[in-house]
Structure 1
Amino acid sequence: MKSARHQAILDLITQHPIDRQEELIAHLREEGYDVTQATVSRDIRELQLVKTAMPDGSYRYMPAAASGKVAHSPSRFEMIFRESVLKIDYAGHMVLVKCFSGMANAACEVFDAKQWDNVVGTLSGDDTFFILMRSEEDAAAISKELQRYLRKV
């Protein structure tokens, strides 16, 4: 079932300019797959799909690579982080990164792929991820650094 669903997702993103999980869920349901947002989020991660900017300025899901870990360019990090993250705050050694629903895993994944000083680890949920820093000063510093990647409204 899972491999058939994954193939259906790959077919759908080839056939349609899908840029949101809700759209993908709707298309999958039309194809007869009873899926939840959590399932689709997991599928996107497992298939290594990324939102890619199109020449007309729109975005759509595309496979990141045929296999293996994807190299993360600064522009990819900036694009995913900017399009996913709503706010950043810290308390003590912890940094909270609040994201749009379903986007925390993608933002956390590109964060983890970069080299950051004094990061102990990360923990991601659906719309939030946490960064554990070695000290409160490190948490303040990385919060300030990450603020520059937020979308300017």
Structure 2
Amino acid sequence: MKKSERIDLIKKILVEQDIMIQDDLVNALLDLNIEVTQATVSRDMRELRLVKVPAKTGGYRYALPESNRLNTDAEFFKSVVEEIKKKGNQLAIRTSPGSAMLLKHRLLTRFEPLIFTVLSDDDTILLIATTDATAEKIYTSLSN
């Protein structure tokens, strides 16, 4: 199997399965009769610049970086946002544990012109929008 084919297969596996550790990916490839070593998979993972993101089942899983992700912002928001409160030009957003920094990055990427600043910790975000109207626009987008 060519390296490019193996890389494409790894991308597909990451979308379909929760890969928590490198051995999970090695085993998934071996299950598909793709002969790989842990060192090869480690190099492939480094080349793909995989990141750890919260898994729906708890813990963390490997995922493609933002530029290669297949899921949409809407899917991501729905999967990590637990509660949103709005007051004036401020949004208080509670996320699943470990998701706030990832969500902060996506919010800044998507809504940067509408945002004055964003503060976050492990599972909470305080977003201050430029106006009450822009806060409402962001709130509506996240709520849908």
Unaligned 5+ runs, structure 2: 1-19, 26-49
Report the aligned-residue RMSD. 3.2
Q: Tell me which amino acid in the other structure corresponds to 2:52.
A: L
Aligned-partner SS, 2:22: helix
| Residue 48 (structure 1) aligned with residue 51 (structure 2) | yes
The aligned runs of 1:5-20 (5 Å cut-off) are: 13-16=21-24
Q: Tell me which amino acid in the other structure corresponds to 2:121.
A: G
| Residue 137 (structure 1) aligned with residue 133 (structure 2) | yes
Is the radius of gyration larger for structure 1 or structure 2? Answer: 2
Q: Is the 8 A contact 2:54 2:97 kept in 1?
A: no
Deviation (angstroms), 1:49: 2.5
| Residue 100 (structure 1) aligned with residue 96 (structure 2) | yes
* Percent of aligned pairs sharing the same letter: 17
Q: Tell me which amino acid in the other structure corresponds to 2:23.
A: Q
Shift >6 Å, 4+ stretches: none
Q: Tell me which amino acid in the other structure corresponds to 1:103.
A: S
Normalising by structure 1, report the TM-score: 0.52
Deviation (angstroms), 1:133: 0.6
| Residue 71 (structure 1) aligned with residue 74 (structure 2) | no
The one-character-per-residue Cα deviations of 1:97-131 (angstroms, maximum 9, x if unpaired) are 11122221122222222245421221111111121
Q: Is the 8 A contact 1:99 1:127 kept in 2?
A: yes
Q: Is the 8 A contact 2:81 2:93 kept in 1?
A: yes
Question: Of Structure 1 and Structure 2, which has the larger fraction of its residues in helix?
Answer: 2
Aligned equivalents of 2:113, 2:103: Cα separation in 1: 18
- How many corresponding residue pairs? 100
Q: Is the 8 A contact 2:90 2:135 kept in 1?
A: yes
Deviation (angstroms), 1:143: 0.6
